[in-house]
C-alpha cells in the first residue's frame, strides 16, 4: 500500500508496522501494563454522538483558531514525541515542515533528536517546546533561555513522567537506551534492510538538546538512559511549576492533567493552558480517557484556561467532539508518527491533509462554519 492509498490513520499504522523493525513499531504503538488506558483513549470517543444542524449556509467554512498565543489553520497541533529519528531519518525536521505547510503548531520534546535552534531555523510556523524540571536547575533554565532566544511561542511542562511507566512491549523487544535487543528483535531489524540503510545514512541518534550535559565519564548506558532518568526531579511540586511559569513569562502549558482539581491548581500557579493527557496510555494504566474529562474540567475552570485534549485522536470527528465538549484544541502524536514511518515528510503531510478534510467535512455537515459555532449543543453522550 502506498501513502496515496492511505485514507485514514489505521492505514498508516499498517504501513508503519510493515516498514519498521518490531522494537521501533512497538515503541510507538504500545502502552503500559495491560494497555487498558491506551485502548480506552480512542474507544472513549465512541461514547459521544454529534448533533448536526441542517439548512445552514456552509458555502464558507473557516476553522482557524487561536490558542497558546498562536493562530493556526485548524484546532489541532502536533504533540512532542521523543526519539523521532528512530522512525525516519527526516526526524523532527520533516514533521515540522509538514506542520508548517498546513499552518499548524509543532511541539518539540526535550528528548527529541533535533536541536531546538535547528528546528526554529527550519520553518517560521509557531512552535512549542516541551520540557521537564530537572534536578539540575541550571539545565532547565538553560533550555528556557534557549527557547526564548529561538523565539518559541509556548512552553510545556510534562508532569506525568516523574516515574517511568511499565511499558512491557519495550521490555519484551529490548527497546531501551541503549537497546538490549533480543535475538528475535535483531532478526526483525535484519528483515528491514531499507530501514537499516536509511538509519545508518541518517547518522547517530542523539538526544540533541541535553546530550551536552550528560556525564561523559560514565558508561554509554549511564550517560544516556540512567543519567536522564536520574535527572527527573521526583520532588516536583506546584511551586516548581510556578517557578517555571514565571521564568518563561509566556504561554505556559501543563501536560498530564486529568482532574478538575489539578486544572484549578494549574491556573492558580500561572498556567495559561492544560493538556488533558495520560501520556497516550504509556504511564499510569487504568486512568480516564482525556475526552471524558473535558466537560468536568471546563465546568471547573470556566474560561480561565485553554484546554487541549491529548490522546486517542484518530479522526476529524474526534476533534469535533472534543471542541463541542469544551476543548480549545487537540494534539496528535501517534497519527503523525505512523505517517512519518510510512513515508517521511510526505507521510506526515498526508495524515494532516486527511485530518483537515475530515474536520472541515464534519464541521460542514454539523452546520458549523467556525470553531466558535461548535458548542455543547452539537454533542451528546450515548444513552
Return the half-sphere exposure (C-beta side, CA atoms, 13 A cut-off) of residue 119. 33
Per the domain annotation, does 181 fall within a domain? yes
- Pick from 315, 310, 302: which is nearest to 330 by CA? 310
Q: In angstroms, rounded to a whole number, what is the distance separating the alpha carbons of residues 369 and 233?
A: 45
Cα-based distances in Å from 100 to 95, 118, 125, 208, 224: 9, 15, 5, 22, 31
Q: Poorest-confidence range of 67-81, 177-191, 363-377? A: 177-191
pLDDT for residue 101? 98
Q: Is the pLDDT reported for residue 219 higher than 50?
A: no
The DSSP bridge pattern shows strands 65-67 and 154-158 to be unpaired
The owner of cell 492544560 is 274
Q: Chain centroid to CA 317: how far?
A: 18
Q: Poorest-confidence range of 194-208, 256-270, 300-314? A: 194-208
Per the domain annotation, does 58 fall within a domain? no
Asked if residue 178 lies in contact with residue 221, where contact means CB atoms within 8 angstroms, the answer is yes
CB atoms < 10 A from the CB of 234, how many?
A: 7
pLDDT for residue 233? 78
Q: In angstroms, rounded to a whole number, what is the distance separating the alpha carbons of residues 85 and 105?
A: 20
Q: Poorest-confidence range of 53-62, 117-126, 176-185, 304-313? A: 176-185
| H or E element in which residue 381 lies | strand 379-381
Return the half-sphere exposure (C-beta side, CA atoms, 13 A cut-off) of residue 157. 33
Find residue 308's DSSP bridge partners. Answer: 275, 329
Per the domain annotation, does 74 fall within a domain? yes
Backbone angles phi, psi at 16, to 5 degrees: -60, -40
- Kindly name the residue from 46, 100, 221, 279 that is annotated as catalytic: 279
What average pLDDT does this structure show over 162-183? 86
Q: Is the pLDDT reported for residue 220 higher than 90?
A: no
Per the domain annotation, does 380 fall within a domain? no
| H or E element in which residue 312 lies | none
Per the domain annotation, does 364 fall within a domain? no
pTM: 0.95
The owner of cell 513522567 is 161
What average pLDDT does this structure show over 341-369? 98
Find residue 106's DSSP bridge partners. Answer: 78, 127
- Whether 279 is a known active-site residue: answer yes
- DSSP collapsed to 3 states, 142-166: HHHHHHHHCCCCEEEEECCCCCCCC
pLDDT for residue 383? 87
How many domains is the chain built from?
1
The boundaries of the domain holding residue 254 are 3-47+65-349
pLDDT for residue 223? 37
Cα-based distances in Å from 307 to 66, 250, 296, 300, 317: 12, 16, 11, 12, 17
Per the domain annotation, does 376 fall within a domain? no
Find residue 50's DSSP bridge partners. Answer: 379
Per the domain annotation, does 34 fall within a domain? yes
CB atoms < 10 A from the CB of 295, how many?
A: 18
- Pick from 310, 324, 358: which is nearest to 77 by CA? 310
- Pick from 248, 281, 53: which is nearest to 133 by CA? 248
Q: Is the pLDDT reported for residue 163 higher than 60?
A: yes
Q: Chain centroid to CA 165: how far?
A: 17
Q: What is the pLDDT of residues 284-324, one digit of tens each?
A: 999 999 999 999 999 999 999 999 999 999 999 999 999 99
DSSP assignment letter at 315: S
Find residue 127's DSSP bridge partners. Answer: 106
What average pLDDT does this structure show over 153-180? 89
User: What is the total residue count of the chain?
Assistant: 383
Asked if residue 134 lies in contact with residue 209, where contact means CB atoms within 8 angstroms, the answer is no
Q: Is the pLDDT reported for residue 180 higher than 90?
A: no
Residue 136 belongs to domain with CATH number: 3.20.20.70
Per the domain annotation, does 137 fall within a domain? yes
Amino acid at each position: 500500500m502506498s501513502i496515496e492509498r492511505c485514507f485514514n490513520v489505521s492505514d498508516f499504522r499498517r504501513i508503519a508496522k510493515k516498514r519498521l523493525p518490531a522494537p521501533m513499531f512497538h515503541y510507538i504503538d504500545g502502552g503500559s501494563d495491560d494497555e487498558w488506558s491506551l485502548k480506552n483513549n480512542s474507544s472513549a470517543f465512541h461514547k459521544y454522538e454529534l448533533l448536526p444542524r441542517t439548512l445552514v449556509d456552509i458555502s464558507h467554512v473557516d476553522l482557524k483558531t487561536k490558542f497558546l498565543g498562536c493562530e493556526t489553520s485548524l484546532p489541532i497541533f502536533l504533540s512532542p514525541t521523543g526519539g523521532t529519528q528512530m522512525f525516519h531519518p527526516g526526524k523532527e525536521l520533516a514533521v515540522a515542515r509538514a506542520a508548517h505547510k498546513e499552518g499548524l503548531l509543532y511541539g518539540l520534546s526535550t528528548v527529541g533528536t533535533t536541536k531546538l535552534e535547528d528546528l526554529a531555523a527550519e520553518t517560521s510556523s509557531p512552535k512549542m517546546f516541551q520540557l521537564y524540571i530537572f534536578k539540575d536547575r541550571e539545565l532547565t533554565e538553560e533550555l528556557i533561555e534557549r527557547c526564548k532566544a529561538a523565539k518559541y511561542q509556548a512552553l510545556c511542562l510534562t508532569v506525568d513522567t516523574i516515574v517511568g511507566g511499565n511499558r512491557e512491549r519495550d521490555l519484551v523487544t529490548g527497546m531501551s537506551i541503549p537497546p538490549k535487543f533480543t535475538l528475535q528483535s535483531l532478526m526483525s531489524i535484519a528483515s528491514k534492510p531499507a530501514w537499516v540503510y536509511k538509519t545508518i545514512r541518517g547518522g547517530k541518534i542523539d538526544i540533541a538538546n541535553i546530550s551536552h550535559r550528560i556525564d561523559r565519564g560514565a558508561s554509554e548506558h549511564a550517560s544516556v538512559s540512567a543519567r536522564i532518568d536520574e535527572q527527573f526531579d521526583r520532588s516536583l511540586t506546584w511551586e516548581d511549576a510556578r517557578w517555571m511559569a514565571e521564568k518563561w513569562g509566556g504561554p505556559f502549558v501543563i501536560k498530564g492533567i486529568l482532574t478538575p482539581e489539578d486544572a484549578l491548581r494549574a491556573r492558580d500557579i500561572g498556567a495559561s493552558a492544560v493538556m488533558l493527557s495520560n501520556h497516550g496510555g504509556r504511564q499510569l494504566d487504568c486512568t480516564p480517557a482525556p475526552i471524558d474529562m473535558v466537560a468536568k474540567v471546563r465546568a471547573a475552570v470556566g474560561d480561565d484556561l485553554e484546554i487541549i485534549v491529548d490522546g486517542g485522536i484518530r479522526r476529524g470527528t474526534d476533534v469535533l467532539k472534543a471542541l463541542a465538549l469544551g476543548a480549545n484544541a487537540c494534539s496528535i502524536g501517534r497519527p503523525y508518527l505512523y505517517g512519518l514511518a510510512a513515508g517521511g515528510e510526505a507521510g506526515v503531510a498526508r495524515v494532516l491533509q486527511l485530518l483537515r478534510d475530515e474536520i472541515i467535512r464534519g464541521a460542514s455537515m454539523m452546520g458549523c462554519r467556525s470553531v466558535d459555532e461548535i458548542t455543547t449543543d452539537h454533542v451528546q453522550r450515548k444513552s
